[in-house]
């Protein structure tokens, strides 16, 4: 890092961030993107001069600047970065006496700077830390401290990232239960585009990221900048373009009225806001993935192939049936068996029992030991479904402690899925849940918890404080997860939330994977997994093979499509395979073997997506770090207007290396609607990465909803 008193330059992994410390109000990022190389102190100072705008007619005498915390006191006339007051007073802070502390964080070669300023009038201190990590990912966090003698109510404190003027198109995601992370695009015009999540969790309809780029940017090309908020509660992400030629992305926690009141001496730190950039979304994604994989909490062992019982048996917990299912799982190569909902007191359906975390003696008269022992004797890990944050009003816990339920005005919120939500910020609730799950983990050989969260929060108030409690509940959740893992270091935890309604890097700092969606229809999963994968690497994405008929869409698909779409993720099975005949078990086992063969490649390599001109097809792959091996899946999603289809091109390879291209098991040989053989599948071809990227190869003729694997090895 190079610095002087007026300008700072952070550099890492092809990224430069230049910060002007002289801008009115607070420092500003004047460049975030391509590495600018070694710059002298005078060159950095000249960059700051070059970025200063002129005064214009009808404007302020001091032109407004886009700072890290844009403020009205410095002339910013759009959404301020900081909003709050002391009962209506001290509503417009103006920080001065800036201090900048430069330092290098040892972990992952990250470069950082901390900026600290004080407003003596409002008696607030603002500290901002910018960290450029070893992946070139920009982290931004603010800490606001109340130095005054009275309470200060914070409304919002947002991280602000400037984007270049070429960013004229926005991409974010929306969705619903069973269809999360569906992409949507629109022109980035003057004004503000805001995506709020008010569900107490990000929600199925929330955006995982907000990207701004050159019009038509795709995965392979187009300059694009994107932000993600690592937070598991209410949040706001926004994009804004002003008439003053400013373009920006913002991200921060969304607070309810009165939710965050800083007493004298108290501080609030924003969630980690992460910014990535690159030529195409694949480059943006690579920075997220590399950064996540470098975290100390990232799983270091191979992700076990998981057999989950939910879509196999639902609430029908019969020991003999479950034992047969476990036997079949071991037969096909599963490494983890997860007993889903229905094992605890009073839980015959989803209307009762949540909160009563004791093994049901009617269903399990000998406890869980018989099924745990059976599973572990087969060489598999045992996992258990739990939903600690939730409670049914028809439960012993709710009857004993109705005051433990999040509520407002002395009334319970509208129910969702016949359940309410516990107040984890209440110490009594926290202690009860910690005791219950710690006891279960001590009693049984449980290696894995599927931690569910099956409803949105409404009127989420605490009976202890009388205030909104989403913020405090999320922090308590993180603490509970960490404490359980500290007491049981080998424990892994999955974050599930009505499927994929709590997917963020905040929850993934405390868990080991997310359940990507309750929908495992492979056609739906193509989109869901693609846009989840922009931020979340494959090894943290639960991806299971369902039965022949999808439980969520009713569509029927061949095993090759169901398994092929799930193949690169944290692979598993969600299907009653106990009744399958040997031939079908062997076929499933071949897919489990295929996953194990490519598991290291998929979970350490680079995820790439081809921008095919024919939208009827999908081509995606994983490329090894040394670019010596790649595996692609080609899916004919719908029928094409071209017949036979055109060529397909392969991104991510080394232009100057030669590769052999061939179909890969278990999708060989090629069978479909083609009337002759496909030449390159009969006679292996050797082509350079440049040829494969530019000219490509002829796509196979397939029926709609068919998939083939393509192996590419460097010669």
Tell me if 469 sits within 8 A of 423, measured CB to CB.
yes
Per-residue pLDDT tens over the stretch 221-230: 999 999 999 9
Q: 210 - beta bridge partners?
A: 227
DSSP per-residue codes, 644-709: S--EE---SS-TTSEEEEEEETTSPSP-SS-SS--HHHHS-EEEEHHHHHHT-EEPPP--TTEEEE
The pLDDT confidence band at residue 110, using thresholds 50, 70 and 90, is low
DSSP per-residue codes, 600-633: HHHHHSEEEE---S-TTEEEEEEE-TTSSEEEEE
Per-residue pLDDT tens over the stretch 79-88: 999 999 999 9
Tell me if 252 sits within 8 A of 128, measured CB to CB.
no
Distance (Å, whole) CA 353 – CA 81: 44
Residue of 647, 628, 623 whose CA lies nearest to 695: 647
Distance (Å, whole) CA 364 – CA 40: 72
How much is the pLDDT for 507? 98
Distance (Å, whole) CA 101 – CA 417: 50
Distance (Å, whole) CA 484 – CA 481: 5
State the average pLDDT over residues 503-508.
98
Q: Is 695 exposed, middle or buried (0-12, 13-18, 19+ CB in 10 A)?
A: exposed
How much is the pLDDT for 236? 98
pLDDT of 684 higher than 90: no
Tell me if 161 sits within 8 A of 208, measured CB to CB.
no
**How large is the angle between the packed helices 470-487 and 427-443, nearest 10 degrees?**
30
Residue of 431, 442, 445, 340 whose CA lies nearest to 387: 340
State the average pLDDT over residues 492-511.
98
Pick the CATH number of 7-294 from 3.40.50.2300, 2.70.98.60, 3.60.110.10, 3.30.450.20: 2.70.98.60
Pick the CATH number of 610-714 from 2.60.40.1180, 2.40.50.100, 3.90.1150.10, 1.10.10.10: 2.60.40.1180
Per-residue pLDDT tens over the stretch 297-340: 999 899 999 999 999 999 999 999 999 999 999 999 999 999 99
Tell me if 682 sits within 8 A of 656, measured CB to CB.
no
State the average pLDDT over residues 354-359.
98
Instruction: Taking the CA atoms of 247, 249, 254 and 255 in sequence, report the sign of the dihedral they define.
Output: negative
How much is the pLDDT for 673? 74
Q: Is 683 exposed, middle or buried (0-12, 13-18, 19+ CB in 10 A)?
A: exposed
Q: 111 - beta bridge partners?
A: 104, 132
How much is the pLDDT for 109? 52
Tally Cβ neighbours within 10 Å of residue 571. 29
Tally Cβ neighbours within 10 Å of residue 316. 11
Tally Cβ neighbours within 10 Å of residue 628. 16
pLDDT of 105 higher than 70: no
Distance (Å, whole) CA 12 – CA 134: 6
pLDDT of 539 higher than 60: yes
Tally Cβ neighbours within 10 Å of residue 196. 13
Distance (Å, whole) CA 166 – CA 265: 43
Topology agreement, domain 7-294 and domain 610-714:
no
Ramachandran region of residue 652, left (φ > 0), alpha (ψ -120 to 50) or beta?
left
The structural domains of the chain, with segments of one domain joined by +, span 7-294, 610-714
Tell me if 422 sits within 8 A of 391, measured CB to CB.
yes
- For the chain, the average pLDDT equals 96
Per-residue pLDDT tens over the stretch 650-661: 999 999 999 999
CA 538 to chain centre: 11
Tell me if 425 sits within 8 A of 481, measured CB to CB.
no
pLDDT of 620 higher than 70: yes
Tell me if 673 sits within 8 A of 703, measured CB to CB.
yes
Task: Assign 473 to helix, strand or coil.
Answer: helix
pLDDT of 681 higher than 70: yes
Cα pseudo-dihedral 605, 700, 583, 556, rounded to 10: 90
The pLDDT confidence band at residue 675, using thresholds 50, 70 and 90, is confident
Tell me if 317 sits within 8 A of 364, measured CB to CB.
yes
How much is the pLDDT for 104? 55
DSSP per-residue codes, 184-243: EEEE--SEEEEEEE-SSS--TTS-S-EEEESTT--SSSSEEEEEEEE-SSSEEEEEEE-T
For the ranges 30-44, 98-112, 343-357, the lowest mean pLDDT is seen at 98-112
Task: Return the active site residues.
Answer: 452, 518
The pLDDT confidence band at residue 426, using thresholds 50, 70 and 90, is very high
Tell me if 151 sits within 8 A of 262, measured CB to CB.
yes
Residue of 128, 228, 143 whose CA lies nearest to 505: 228
CA 183 to chain centre: 15
State the average pLDDT over residues 521-550.
98
């Amino acid at each position: 890092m190079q610095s002087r008193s007026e300008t700072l330059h952070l550099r890492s992994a092809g990224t430069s961030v230049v910060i002007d410390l002289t801008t009115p109000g607070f420092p500003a990022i004047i460049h975030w993107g391509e590495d600018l190389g070694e710059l002298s102190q005078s060159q950095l100072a000249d960059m700051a001069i070059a970025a200063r705008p002129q005064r214009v007619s009808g404007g302020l005498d001091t032109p407004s600047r886009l700072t890290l915390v844009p403020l009205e006191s410095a002339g910013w006339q759009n959404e301020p970065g900081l909003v709050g007051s002391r009962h209506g007073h001290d509503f417009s802070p103006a920080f001065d006496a800036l201090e900048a502390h430069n330092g290098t964080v040892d972990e992952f070669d990250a470069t950082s700077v901390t900026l600290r300023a004080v407003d003596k009038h409002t008696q607030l201190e603002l500290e901002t830390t910018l960290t450029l990590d070893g992946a070139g990912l920009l982290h931004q966090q603010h800490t606001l401290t109340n130095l005054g003698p009275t309470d200060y109510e914070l409304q919002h404190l947002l991280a602000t990232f400037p984007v270049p003027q070429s960013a004229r198109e926005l991409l974010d995601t929306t969705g619903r239960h069973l269809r999360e992370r569906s992409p949507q695009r629109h022109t980035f015009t003057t004004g503000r585009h805001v995506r709020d999540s008010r569900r107490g969790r990000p929600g199925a309809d929330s955006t995982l990221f907000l990207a701004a780029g050159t019009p038509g940017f795709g995965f392979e090309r187009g300059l694009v900048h994107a932000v993600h908020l690592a937070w598991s509660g209410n949040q706001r992400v926004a994009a804004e373009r002003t008439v003053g030629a400013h373009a920006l992305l913002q991200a921060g926690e969304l607070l309810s009225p009165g939710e965050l009141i800083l007493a004298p001496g108290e501080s609030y730190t924003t969630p980690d806001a992460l910014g990535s950039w690159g030529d195409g979304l694949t480059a943006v994604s690579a920075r997220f993935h590399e950064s996540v994989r470098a975290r100390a909490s990232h799983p270091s062992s191979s992700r076990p192939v998981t057999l989950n019982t939910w879509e196999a048996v639902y609430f029908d917990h019969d020991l003999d049936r479950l034992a047969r299912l476990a036997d079949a799982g071991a037969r096909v190569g599963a490494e983890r068996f997860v007993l889903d909902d229905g094992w605890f007191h009073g839980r015959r359906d989803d209307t009762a029992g949540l909160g009563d975390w004791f093994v049901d003696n009617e269903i399990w008269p000998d406890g869980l030991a018989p099924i745990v022992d059976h599973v572990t004797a087969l060489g598999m890990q045992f996992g258990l479904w739990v939903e600690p944050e939730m409670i049914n009003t028809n439960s012993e816990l709710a009857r004993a402690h109705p005051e433990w339920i999040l509520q407002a005005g002395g009334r319970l919120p509208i129910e969702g899925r016949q359940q309410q939500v516990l107040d984890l910020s209440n110490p009594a609730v926290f202690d009860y849940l910690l005791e219950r799950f710690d006891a279960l983990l001590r009693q049984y050989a449980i290696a894995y918890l599927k931690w569910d969260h099956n409803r949105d929060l409404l009127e989420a108030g605490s009976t202890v404080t009388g205030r909104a409690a989403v913020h405090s509940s999320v922090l308590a959740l993180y603490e509970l997860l960490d404490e359980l893992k500290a007491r049981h270091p080998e424990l892994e935890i999955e974050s599930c939330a009505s499927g994929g309604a709590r997917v963020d890097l905040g929850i993934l700092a405390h868990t080991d994977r997310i359940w990507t969606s309750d929908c495992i229809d492979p056609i739906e999963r193509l989109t869901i997994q693609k846009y989840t994968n922009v931020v979340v690497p494959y090894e943290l994405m639960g991806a299971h093979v369902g039965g022949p008929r999808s439980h969520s869409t009713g569509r029927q698909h061949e095993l090759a499509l169901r398994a092929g779409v799930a193949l690169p993720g944290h692979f598993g099975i969600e299907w009653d395979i106990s009744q399958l005949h040997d031939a079908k078990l062997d076929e499933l086992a071949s897919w489990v073997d295929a996953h194990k063969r490519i598991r290291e490649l998929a979970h350490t390599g680079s995820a790439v997506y081809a921008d095919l001109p024919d939208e009827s097809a999908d081509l995606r792959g994983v490329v090894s770090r040394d670019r010596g091996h790649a595996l692609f899946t080609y899916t004919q999603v719908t029928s094409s207007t071209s017949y036979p289809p055109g060529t397909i091109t392969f991104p991510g390879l080394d232009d100057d290396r030669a590769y052999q291209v061939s179909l890969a098991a278990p999708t060989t040989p090629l069978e479909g609607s083609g009337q002759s053989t496909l030449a390159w599948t009969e006679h292996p071809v050797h082509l350079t990465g440049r040829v494969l990227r530019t000219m490509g190869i002829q796509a196979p003729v397939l029926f709609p909803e068919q998939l083939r694997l393509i192996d590419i090895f460097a010669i």
